[in-house]
């Protein structure tokens, strides 16, 4: 706070108060269970010795009150003015651009004293391990929070000797000589360098990444970040296997995170238990009809058994969304907690058994293909966003899956490929087997027209399943999404079904494409042909979806189950709650096999549980919900 220069002259007083016994005791009384506090900010352990000792005392105090402790460690900043005085060798640990200048982590143009460290440099990782050891052994922390977990976008990527050599070694390990010839046209990788840019060719405007070296450079940056985190996680857990690892990378925001930030969530979330998103997608219904949610980020967390932490403080729609899709409050806020937050915290703690050990009860899977989104975000990300928006606003439960999950699709009825352009031969074979064995496929747009390196296939990869598929319009050097329309083409295949839709039709003129082709929430609109997509999904599932719910498209649902408790739990969130409650009756059919259902409604908006009349037949359990103000939980139990 002092180095920034713009903070209050009472910074020291604020600092002392934030970690005082008074604050910790009050938070404990309000139901908070984890106290998130500072530990290391990047100035060097010698410069921060006094504050690190404060963090140790604060952790001991928190533990005495029964709180767990989450310790903040700056992952990605060297405050060089003090750090170099402590570690002169660190001048060789910083990221440097193609001209050899240090790469900055900037919060505004004034903070030029924040250098980014190089994660290909083992010397920096060794230093970071010293901080981790202090956190685990001295502070006895329960969580380690690594902040600023990302890299700068191009052209600010590291070209230091460690990265250049590491990139070449990475390629040698990944490809044998024969495959190098297929990938690059040559075998000798001794002079392959990270990409460079100029004014005429800015990376911000590149719509499709076809250059194989640039594709591999993106993959290398993702690999370095994931591998560095793996080392830190394994090192921390070698000292205490119960330590939780937490990072701050953002979730699914519509940006090309691999290209922009060197982050592939499917790689690094294997090493974490929780992650932060500071995305500005505050949930609610916008005047132009867009429904803004963080549901994608919550589903990403659930796909990798993580908890998502997001800003929800005192926003009842955000709190409701978090409970419904995160199955926990997550980040409660800062002291003092406000009344709206406390209401939801009390509700969660009173009914915690309904959120424990739940499984997302979804039989529809939406593929988020790494090569498709990374190499052509403008099209593949938009396709994914529009399909997900359709399912969200149509209350069709779904999971997000990633490339690795295609190896086992046995839990799903339907796989959706939303402009998943880049599929490998093995993935196409797995999809074919899935459909042949009774699964349903709904493919849109250019699904399977390219291999995993964005090379056009002479014969579309899914041609056996998808008759009538055509390539999009081509002009200049790019193949752009043009809102292709047309009827659904259906085909029975083996024991399963496959449906092809030419595209998801954006409702209205497409917004201007931002830098790096990010599909920000200005694009998050239910497509014009949403009904066509839902009908194709129901047909492909052979009408075996787990729930059917009536209601306006700003009423959103999540279905989970607790199989050991023999109950299904339906969460309903009204995203228009700030304007009007859902006043019409909501009809629900749960496809649960039971003859003696017991259905109970709970809500922080009402007092006490309410028993709902229910009956069952061959189609499932039927009941009506009278009103959803903001958030309702319906528990269906059976003997």
pLDDT in tens, 114-143: 999 999 999 999 999 999 999 999 999 999
Half-sphere exposure of 89 (CA within 13 A, CB side): 6
Mean pLDDT on 435-449: 97
Q: pLDDT averaged over the chain?
A: 94
pLDDT digit string (tens) for 593-619?
666 789 999 999 988 899 999 988 888
pLDDT at residue 481 in the model:
44
pLDDT of residue 414 exceeding 70: yes
- How far apart CA 330 and CA 338 sit, in angstroms, is 15
pTM for the model stands at: 0.96
Long-range contacts of 579-585 (CB under 8 A, 24+ apart): 579/285, 581/627, 581/628, 581/629, 581/630, 582/551, 582/552, 582/555, 582/627, 582/628, 582/629, 583/627, 584/551, 584/552, 585/550, 585/624, 585/625, 585/626
Mean pLDDT on 274-291: 94
Confidence of residue 202 (pLDDT cuts 50, 70, 90): very high
Of 163, 73, 167, the closest CA to residue 118 belongs to 163
Of 260, 268, 496, 292, the closest CA to residue 385 belongs to 292
pLDDT digit string (tens) for 362-373?
999 999 999 999
Q: Percent of the chain beyond pLDDT 70? A: 96
Give residues with Cβ within 8 angstroms of 585, minimum separation 6: 550, 624, 625, 626
Q: Out of 117-121, 124-128, 427-431, 468-472, pick the least confident.
A: 468-472
Asked whether 170 and 119 are in contact (CB, 8 A), the reply is no
pLDDT at residue 475 in the model:
32
pLDDT at residue 480 in the model:
46
pLDDT at residue 190 in the model:
97
pLDDT of residue 476 exceeding 50: no
Mean pLDDT on 296-318: 96
Radius of gyration of the chain (CA): 26
Tokens of 245: 């690892």
- How far apart CA 413 and CA 408 sit, in angstroms, is 12
The residues spanned by each domain of the chain are: 22-156+229-276, 362-540, 547-637
Mean pLDDT on 151-171: 97
Mean pLDDT on 351-359: 96
E strands, 60-132, are: 68-74, 78-79, 114-115
pLDDT at residue 469 in the model:
79
The CATH number corresponding to 362-540 among 3.40.50.300, 3.40.50.880, 3.30.390.50, 3.40.630.30 equals: 3.40.50.880
Mean pLDDT on 181-191: 97
Q: Percent of the chain beyond pLDDT 90? A: 86
- CATH fold of the domain at 22-156+229-276: TIM Barrel (3.20.20)
CB atoms within 10 A of CB 248: 18
The CATH number corresponding to 547-637 among 3.40.190.80, 3.30.460.80, 3.30.300.280, 2.60.40.1180 equals: 2.60.40.1180
Half-sphere exposure of 21 (CA within 13 A, CB side): 5
pLDDT digit string (tens) for 545-568?
999 999 999 999 999 999 888 899
- How far apart CA 121 and CA 329 sit, in angstroms, is 37
pLDDT at residue 594 in the model:
62
pLDDT of residue 60 exceeding 80: yes
3-state DSSP of 587-616? EEEECCCCCCCEEEEECCCCCCCEEECEEE
Q: Out of 55-69, 401-415, 553-567, pick the least confident.
A: 553-567
Looking at residue 471, what DSSP letter applies? P
- Could you give the strand order of the β-sheet that contains 586-590, starting from the edge strand earlier in sequence? 547-549, 586-590, 620-625, 614-617
pLDDT at residue 230 in the model:
98
Transcribe 408-451 into DSSP letters: --TT-SEEEEES--B--HHHHHHHHHHHHTT-EEEEETTTTSB-
pLDDT at residue 79 in the model:
96
Strand partners, 96: 102
């Amino acid at each position: 706070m002092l180095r920034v220069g713009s903070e209050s002259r009472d910074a020291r007083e604020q600092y002392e108060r934030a970690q005082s016994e008074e604050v910790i005791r009050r938070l404990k009384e309000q139901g908070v269970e984890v106290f998130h506090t500072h530990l290391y900010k990047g100035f060097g352990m010698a410069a921060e010795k006094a504050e690190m000792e404060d963090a140790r005392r604060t952790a001991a105090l928190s533990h005495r009150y029964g709180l767990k402790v989450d310790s903040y460690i700056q992952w990605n900043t060297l405050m060089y003015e003090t750090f170099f005085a402590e570690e002169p060798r660190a001048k060789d640990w910083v990221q440097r651009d193609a001209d050899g200048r240090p790469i900055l982590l900037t919060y505004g143009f004034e903070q030029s004293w924040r250098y980014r460290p190089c994660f290909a440099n083992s010397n920096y990782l060794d230093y970071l391990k010293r901080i981790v050891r202090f956190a685990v052994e001295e502070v006895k922390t329960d969580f380690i929070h690594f902040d600023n977990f990302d890299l700068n976008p191009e052209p600010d990527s590291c070209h230091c000797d460690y990265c250049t050599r590491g990139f070449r070694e990475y390629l040698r390990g990944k490809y044998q000589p024969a495959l190098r010839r297929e990938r690059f046209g040559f075998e000798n990788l001794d002079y392959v360098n990270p990409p460079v840019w100029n004014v005429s060719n800015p990376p911000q405007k590149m719509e499709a990444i076809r250059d194989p070296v640039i594709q591999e450079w993106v993959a290398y940056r993702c690999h370095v970040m994931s591998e560095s985190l793996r080392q830190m996680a394994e090192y921390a857990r070698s000292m205490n296997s119960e330590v939780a690892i937490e990072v701050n990378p953002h979730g699914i925001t519509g940006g090309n995170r691999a290209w922009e930030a060197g982050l592939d969530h499917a790689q690094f979330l294997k090493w974490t238990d929780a992650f932060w998103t500071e995305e500005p997608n505050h949930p609610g219904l916008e005047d132009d009809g867009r429904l803004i949610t963080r549901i994608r980020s919550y589903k990403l967390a659930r796909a990798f058994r993580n908890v998502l932490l997001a800003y929800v403080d005192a926003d009842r729609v955000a709190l409701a969304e978090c409970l419904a899709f995160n199955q926990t409050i997550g980040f409660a806020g800062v002291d003092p907690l406000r009344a709206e937050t406390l209401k939801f915290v009390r509700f969660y703690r009173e009914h915690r058994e309904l959120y424990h050990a739940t499984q997302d009860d979804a039989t529809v899977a939406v593929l988020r293909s790494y090569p498709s989104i990374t190499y052509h975000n403008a099209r593949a990300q938009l396709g994914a966003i529009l399909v997900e928006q359709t399912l969200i606003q149509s209350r069709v439960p779904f999971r997000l899956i990633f490339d690795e999950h295609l190896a086992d699709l046995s839990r799903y009825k339907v796989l959706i490929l939303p402009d998943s352009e880049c599929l490998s031969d093995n993935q196409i074979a797995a999809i074919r087997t899935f459909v042949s064995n009774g699964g349903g496929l709904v493919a849109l747009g250019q699904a399977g027209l390219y291999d995993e390196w964005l090379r056009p296939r002479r014969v579309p990869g899914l041609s056996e399943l998808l008759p009538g598929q055509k390539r999009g319009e081509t002009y200049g050097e790019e193949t752009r999404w043009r809102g292709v329309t047309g009827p659904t083409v259906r085909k029975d295949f083996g024991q399963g079904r496959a449906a092809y839709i030419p595209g998801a039709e954006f409702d209205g003129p497409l917004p201007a494409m931002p830098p790096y082709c990010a599909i920000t929430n200005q694009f998050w609109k239910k497509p014009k042909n949403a009904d066509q997509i839902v009908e194709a999904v129901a047909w492909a599932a052979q009408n075996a979806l787990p729930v059917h719910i009536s209601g306006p498209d700003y009423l959103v649902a999540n279905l989970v189950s607790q199989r050991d408790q023999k109950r299904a739990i339906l969460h309903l969130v009204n995203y228009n709650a700030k304007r009007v409650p859902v006043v019409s009756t909501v009809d629900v059919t749960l496809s649960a096999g039971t003859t003696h259902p017991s259905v109970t409604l709970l809500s922080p908006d009402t007092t006490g549980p309410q028993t709902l009349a229910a009956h069952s037949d061959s189609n499932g359990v039927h009941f009506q919900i009278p009103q959803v103000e903001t958030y309702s939980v319906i528990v269906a139990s059976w003997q």
